[in-house]
Amino acid sequence: MKKRWPITILYRAFSSSTTSTTASFPLKHVKKSNFDSALSSLRHHIQAADFVAIDLEMTGITSAPWRDSFEFDRFDVRYLKVKDSAEKFAVIQFGVSPFRWDPLKQSFITHPHNFFIFQRQELPLDGAAYEFLCQTTSMDFLAKYQFDFNACIHEGVSYLSREQEDKALKHVNSTYKDESLDSWHSLKEIRDTHLFNIPDILFAERMKDRLSEWLGGLLRNRDEGSEVQPSFNDSKQQFETIFFKMRPAISLNGFTSHQLRLIQLKEVKDEQKIDAEMSIKASIGFRHVIDLLSSEKKLIVGHNCFLDIAHIYSKFFGPLPLTAEEFISSVNKYFPHIIDTKILLNSNSILQQRMKKSSTSLSKAFSVLCPQIALGSKSTHLSLQPSVKVEVEVDDIRSSNWNSGVKHEAGYDAFMTGCVFAQACSHLGIDFKQQSSSENLAHNEKLREHVNLLYLSWTNGEIINLSTGNRTSESLASNKRKNHYPKILFECIVIVWGFPSHLKAWDIRECISKVYGPTSVISVYHVDETAVFVQFSRAEMVSKFLDLKESLDRNNDPISVLHPLAKLLEGGNTCAASYETYKEICSSTVSKVLFADQAKAVGIKWKTKLVESSDKTKEHESLRKVKAVNSDPSCGERTKNKNFDDVSNDSSYSQLSSDEIIDSFYTREAKQI
């Protein structure tokens, strides 16, 4: 029976700022109030770690149903969908669990941290308020597992990305280096002095030069070993070098109060610049953790973590690159060693056998590979199963006995991920007892082939190598995953949207097959209720279909109304294009719920986007063949009585252009009359 938690214990587990009660899993919860101290200790733990496991909790996954991952998604489109998700949804919890092998204890020591994070406008230069989407299913899922939304919003640690920090610092530098009148008026102290005339500005500039000269003299004396003279070469004796609290200072004489105020403002401006820079540095917040992970170059372990890495890049480094290739190159610079435990479990025959072909979800892998750790105790019926020992340490208190933690809490999920990885390494033959403390685990020969391989899409087993940029399809895991469609050839696909709502995939297939023959359409796949992919048997049929549709839309005559495609075009809103248009629509930052609305929102006003045919010669040969058939008197009554359905099943029609097909229908109608 699945263990159930009392509500009171759950509340204490989520509300504690340090560790939970002794009965629950020991987990360090980090909020604004204890972030600085937690960061200090975490820095030590990460520096000493053999690897660091991570996990993220987000406010959603897909901004629209059609942005879900489909079998018909090409690799570049899959990346665009991941990019959209990472840009639109927020990360509200971040789990970090450093694992270090303790040779004395003969076990791993881990320090699981559960960070609540929530980005706020903490700088006056931030501009518009931060926005993010919430997906109802995701929020309901988090609530089901007792996520503390109040702690996140009120006490979550804020952050700045590197790009946001750079922009803020550049703004400060440009503001305080600019000596123009407008720049000076931006400072409250200067506005209060009514500094609105040119003589005041010129005086301030002259005093700046005089003070710089005085300071330069002090520095030259220091470098030459000369003593500071208690005076300054000034004919009017307005500047005099004195000593104040054993340090050189300058005494100003013979200036009006207004002039003294102007001189003082120079110092105020410098102080304000320093304060502004310190405020920006203080707003970095949780990004300090990401910078730490990146600078230490430790092995990062996640579970099905491509989306996690995209979120980390988007939230803490800068805008995601436009292409998957650029993203891969950039990520590898920040995190050179990443392992995905889901790929590890699916790609190794030893681990597959250990998993007994069961699900490779994190919770399932944890229960199968780490039963003793999951229970936090040494059960007698599990004593014969090999297990890598893991102890948890929080606030200098170690524990090896605990109740099960709360799944889908980022800190606990990071802990589970690390335990699965440690146990998987053991099954691969890695002996931690023989592992040198100075050896980077990522360079271990038994792990090397699995490092930096991430699922770009779990739905079709497409794997991307962050080191090389190469893409491969997973072969061993393909037996677990059922492909519902034949081999997908993207050059053979058209995207059709805006058709009558009552039409289903079978209806659309039937319409097209009546024109091009029963074997012309390989598959029809619903993107959503307003759009479908149609895969043809040959690439040249894409241009033929689009040409035909464009001609029918343009002609709109009685023959067009009788055409087999008329059912698909009914209503006048049906649009069609090649796969590249689908990619273009997916790349937009707009996200409408329905694909047809999305196409309008990105500015598509045409009904058909034509592509050039790859083989005009075959079209002309087919045309001559059809004309010969139509003029042959031996056809007799058989030719005269041939209807649209029969004509459409003639294989020669798959080679015709749109106008040629329509002309052939006109010819046959005339013969029947």
Q: Which residue's structure tokens are 């004195």? A: 242
- Decide if 633 contacts 671 (C-beta within 8 A): no
Q: How big is the chain by its Cα radius of gyration, in Å?
A: 35
The predicted pLDDT at position 666 comes to 42
The predicted pLDDT at position 632 comes to 52
The predicted pLDDT at position 473 comes to 76
The predicted pLDDT at position 431 comes to 87
Backbone angles phi, psi at 139, to 5 degrees: -65, -40
Distance CA 673, CA 322 (A): 58
For residue 546, what are the CA distances in angstroms to 104, 385, 549?
71, 62, 5
Q: Is 667 helix (H, G, I), strand (E, B) or coil?
A: helix
- Decide if 591 contacts 67 (C-beta within 8 A): yes
3-state helix, strand, coil in the chain (%, to 5): 50, 15, 35
- The CB-side HSE value for 80 (13 A sphere, CA atoms) comes to 20
The predicted pLDDT at position 597 comes to 96
Distance CA 243, CA 251 (A): 9
Distance CA 450, CA 492 (A): 34
CB-based burial of residue 165 (10 Å sphere; 0-12 exposed, 13-18 middle, 19+ buried)? middle
| Bridge partners (DSSP) listed for residue 240 | 251
CB atoms within 10 A of CB 192: 10
Q: Which residue's structure tokens are 């047809």? A: 596
Listed residue (395, 400, 393, 375) closest to 385, CA to CA: 375
Q: Which two tokens stand for residue 352?
A: 């597959």
Listed residue (277, 266, 271, 282) closest to 170, CA to CA: 277
Q: Is 183 helix (H, G, I), strand (E, B) or coil?
A: helix
Q: Is 238 helix (H, G, I), strand (E, B) or coil?
A: coil
Q: Which residue's structure tokens are 């891969």? A: 328
Query: In sequence order, which ranges of 442-530 are alpha helices (DSSP H)?
Result: 505-516
What residues contact 666, with CB distance under 8 A and at least 6 apart? 559
Distance of CA 532 to the CA centre of its chain: 26
- Decide if 85 contacts 61 (C-beta within 8 A): yes
The DSSP H or E segment spanning 220 is: helix 198-224
In this prediction the pTM is 0.79
| Amino acid letter, residue 283 | S
Average pLDDT in the chain:
80
Query: In sequence order, which ranges of 65-125 are alpha helices (DSSP H)?
Result: 75-88
Instruction: Classify each residue of 617-642 as buried b or exposed e, where b means 16 or more C-beta atoms within 10 Å of its C-beta.
Output: eebeebbeebeeeeeeeeeeeebeeb
The predicted pLDDT at position 649 comes to 42
Q: Is 666 helix (H, G, I), strand (E, B) or coil?
A: helix
User: What are the per-10-residue average pLDDT scores of the chain (673 residues)?
Assistant: 35 38 75 96 96 97 93 93 96 97 92 96 75 93 93 96 92 71 49 61 77 77 62 59 71 77 73 84 96 96 96 97 93 95 87 79 89 64 65 85 76 95 91 76 89 85 89 59 74 96 94 94 95 96 94 79 89 94 94 94 89 54 49 46 40 48 45 36
